[in-house]
Amino acid sequence: MFTLNCQGKLVTIKTPLVMGIVNATPDSFFAGSRAMDQSAVREVVGKMLNEGADIIDIGGQSTRPGSERISAEEEIARITPAIQTITENFPAAIISIDTFYADVAKKAVEAGASIVNNISGGDLDEAMLACVASLKVPYICMHMRGTPQSMTRENQYDNLPLEVVDYFISKIRKCRKAGIKDVIIDPGFGFAKNAEQNFLLLKNLSLLKILNVPVLVGLSRKSTICKTLNITAAEALNGTTVMHTLSLLNGANILRVHDVKEAKEAITLVSKYIDSGKS
């Protein structure tokens, strides 16, 4: 069991949690996650919370392969109204900010976010770890090489699962040294990894348990599913549920998803399966 201190709100991970994805950006890869005005934010977030979302993850720029990078200022302009809308309408909600900019993380937490979700593990902004430590919020540290613009060319590994474990051993040490109390790790499916590598990483996900921190998995509607099944992201819900089931069986503690209801059902069923026969 893990406990996260989210600005005074304690989140206990006894069974896996669901993080709902809300994108305040026009170019995220799945149109269903986009919420570009405050009415849409209220509608999308309200639905996710009603379906059982434990965390709402707000992002202000797309990090899909080849996406266009925007400035911290533009990202702040996108995410701040969205976070304020959530805090005003759903004050009990736990909000995560998905950013690699320290300045965005700071502004988001000031607006009401209480978790920082960083795809680069601090590599794209050297001020990030110190910033998160000063904010005293949980930190999601993801494995990635390069940038969203270059990462498809950065997927050469000798032993991917072990290299990811070694990466997190080093990153967790740096996080602790910076003063970050609660660290969550995300192996970064699709980030500097092709489809075959994603399946290999998923098969070896349980290796990350040795690090004794919560493991977040983000596979929802991603290209590994779409390319394998020759479908679009809009058609990838069933494939996503299969991947979520495999993730849960291999030790995932948090699922980052577009479809909250279906993820919660997967967690319920897998938890019953794992607990069956226990006295």
Spot the catalytic one: 78, 106, 171, 222. 222
Spot the catalytic one: 106, 145, 171, 256. 256
Q: With beta carbons less than 8 A apart as the criterion, state whether 133 and 178 touch.
A: yes
Active-site residue, 222 included: yes
Distance CA 117, CA 121 (A): 9
Active-site residue, 256 included: yes
- Residues with a known catalytic role: 222, 256
